[in-house]
Structure 1
Amino acid sequence: MPIFPILAFLFLAVPLLEIFLFIQVGGWIGVWPTIGLVILTAIAGAFLLRWQGLATLSRVRRALDQGQIPALEMLEGVLLVFGGALLLTPGFFTDAIGFACLLPLTRHLMARWLFIKGVFVARGPRPGGPQGPAGPGESGPRPRGGRTLEGEYRKDDP
């Protein structure tokens, strides 16, 4: 399915929907409370983004320490950035989607749905790639579970 028509529709529909919502909410509560509400949601979103961003980063580090690929956590990080950008955009519709991306339950559900639909696929490192089977400075893949033994070696040439 071509992406351009979808993006063109969204670039037209979302601003029109935001204008409509501004007019409706402004008519119900007034101009200044509407502006205050938009500013309040931006401030609340910034605090929520920081809090959830640090929690997601902690989960990424924990998964890496256990030798696992933090694919779901990384996708949640992308959703956090997307949600934060939407909260900086003035409007009620974008704020609703932005908060959905920042709240842990809905963000986790969105990330799992994206994986199930195959939008994002978790893949491990490719053996023999530009850095070989392991990362730079490593001699092999990180063991799962066990202990890491450190030591020195030397090669004796005959």
Structure 2
Amino acid sequence: MPLLLLLFIAVPIAEIALFIEVGDWIGLWPTIATILVTALIGTTLVRQQGLAALERARTALAEDRLPVAEVLTGACLLVAGALLLTPGFLTDAIGLTLLIPPLRNAIGRAVAGYAARNGRFTVHTTGGGHPGGMGGHPGGGPGPRRGRGGAPIIEGDYVEVDPDSPDPGDPPHDGGHTDPDRGSGR
């Protein structure tokens, strides 16, 4: 928590200092105009990239792939949008950085690696993977095995049930008469 508190104190101070410096350099109204223009351009870019990421996520789900990269992209775009809407040059610079896909992917890999090393989640690797890098199935695996007709194979334990035998938890359905093989029925 101390890091978060430090950020909440340091970022506004840095933004105020940058406002003063840029305002002295280019003037009050150009400074305000620059902040508004970066917010408009940033939100437009966030919207375009967000819709593209949503479409890629739909495609991944239609192909029975987990949209891991798309979720990461969406999270980065959410943070970028919040930073771009926050008035300031420092937050705009960080927000615009998150809109550059190679930088966003590098940041995402670093955050995922950090979270995996610190026990936030476990990464299982099975080989194969999605050619695009971070996307695909958990751990970058090749995806679910397929059976006849391309249907995914669901693996698990099962118990065979005779459809003619009653469920042991059901009450008897013979009008109150008991079956000598099933006990007293009370």
TM-score, with length taken from structure 1: 0.74
Bigger relative CO (Cα 8 Å, ≥ 6 apart): 1
Tell me the number of residue pairs that the alignment of Structure 1 and Structure 2 aligns. 133
More helix by share: 1
Residue 60 in 1 paired to residue 57 in 2? yes
Residue 21 in 1 paired to residue 24 in 2? no
Aligned to 2:112: 115
TM-score, with length taken from structure 2: 0.63
Gaps of 5+ in 1: 125-141, 149-156
The percent of aligned pairs where both chains have the same amino acid is: 47
Pair 1:121–1:55, CA change in 2 (3 A): farther
Aligned to 2:79: 82
Gaps of 5+ in 2: 125-143, 152-162, 165-186
Contact 1:67 1:143 in 2 (8 A): no
Please tell me whether Structure 1 or Structure 2 has the larger radius of gyration of its CA atoms: 2
My pick for the range that moved more, 111-120 or 59-68, is: 111-120
Cα drift, residue 117 of structure 1: 2.0
Specify the code of the residue in structure 1 equivalent to 2:150.
Answer: R
What is the distance in 2 between the residues matched to 1:144 and 1:21? 57
Contact 1:67 1:144 in 2 (8 A): no
Residue 101 in 1 paired to residue 104 in 2? no
What is the distance in 2 between the residues matched to 1:96 and 1:19? 15
Cα drift, residue 69 of structure 1: 1.4
Q: Which runs of 4+ in 1 moved over 4 A?
A: 119-124, 142-146
